[in-house]
Amino acid sequence: MMKSVARHLESQLRRAARSFAAVVLTGPRRCGKTWLLRHLFPKASYWLFEDPDLIARFRADPHGLLDDIQTPAILDEVQNIPEIFDYLRARIDRTPRRVGQWFLTGSQESGLMRNVSESMTGRAAILHLAPLSFAESDRVSVLRGGFPEVLARPKAADIWFSSYLQTYLERDVRSVSAVQDLAKFRRFLALLATRHGQLLNRTDLAAPLGMSVPGVSNWLDILELTGQILLIPPYFENAGKRLLKSPKLYFSDSGLACHLLGIRSAAELERSPFLGAIFEGFVAAEIVKSQFNAGERRALYHFRDQQGLEVDFLMPLAGGRIRLIEVKATRTPVPDMAAPMEKLASALRRTPGAMGGVDAVLVHRPARSVARTDALRPGVQARPWDTFVLNPAADSRKASNRGHAGPTTR
């Protein structure tokens, strides 16, 4: 069993509760939204809107139900009753100075965000909770990912992911879209896992399933809206290049990706041809988690041009700086691995309006017994993943001087 883990989003949630009447917490199923709110606000009443009787009661008499709710209150899975926002807006407007009254969770971000933007502008803070990050728990790993229940019972990970997919298919998929053929949707997920870390090609996905490209796009939208995949957009600054404009596709949780690919152990992962892509996606997810946990919007891009120059990630930093990030599953980084970043950095520095500077980091798996080499090339640092993901936005020169614990694939 795993002890209770402090979530880095806690400070942002407390701050939001002191400033807004309502706080909306989104995120994929089973990432810990309900536990976190009940832990932080133990005196709040709790209402789960997956209960058909409760949903029916609300729709029959919304004012009557809301009158019975003692505030502060946690309203869980409110994507099932999107009309609630109009009623909450009226109540908030009657007592605009009362803060921290309504805490709402939802696992379907698009519809939830649309209703928040239409009804709750200026009345609600919106935060996103992801599965656990390595900065929150050192049990998080490339093989297991970050879902709390998997980390608490790693020996039952395979059973948990199988159950999660079944529940996800039955609940979220059917509620977001009228997917009739769930067996085909399962095959779609398995196929998508084989494209983990690649440029998104909808035609390539549609052909093996006998589907249309719009149909594939609809299913990708479902996965993205429910927090199952990350689509990392291209960096659109010109830099004198003809750029490819497709996003890169990753599963949001590396443990789920491993499950879909049939990878059950660290030894299997080590031998897998997908190791590099899974490790790359793990680092991407950790960067995104760090941004969400700071209450920020996701800001992560990739770069690939038609001449073949490719850098895994670009991350905007404070002061207009840009961090280039190359991810390699190797334990032995060598200077030649930095060449694409050096070339792109040179081009970006010549771009009109480039004011903040460019730095570069090569993220790799740590060697178990060999001393590290931090300086890979001039202006390029090599950092093991377990120090990098603790603070991806930290100054790479300062961060490289810290020690590291040495966990590897696990």
Structure tokens at 216: 């594939």
Q: Which of 5-9, 218-222, 358-362 has the lowest mean pLDDT?
A: 218-222
Confidence at residue 160, expressed as pLDDT on a 0 to 100 scale? 97
What is the 8-class DSSP label of residue 231?
E
What dotted CATH number matches 10-128?
3.40.50.300
- DSSP-assigned states of every residue in 159-217: HHHHHHHHHHIIIIIHHHS----HHHHHHHHHHHHTTTTSBP-HHHHHHHHT--HHHHH
What's the pLDDT tens digit per position in 73-109? 999 999 888 899 999 999 999 998 999 999 999 876 6
pTM over 0.95: no
Q: Give dist(CA 251, CA 188) in Å, integer.
A: 13
Q: Are 396 and 361 in contact, with CB atoms under 8 Å apart?
A: yes
Task: Say if residue 39's pLDDT is above 80.
Answer: yes
- Residue 176 pLDDT greater than 80, yes or no: no
Give 290-319 pLDDT, tens digit per residue: 999 999 999 999 999 888 899 999 999 988
Query: How does strand 124-128 pair with strand 102-106?
Result: unpaired
pLDDT on residue 2: 57
Query: Does residue 409 surpass a pLDDT of 50?
Result: no
Domain boundaries, the chain: 10-128, 134-410
pLDDT of residue 82: 87
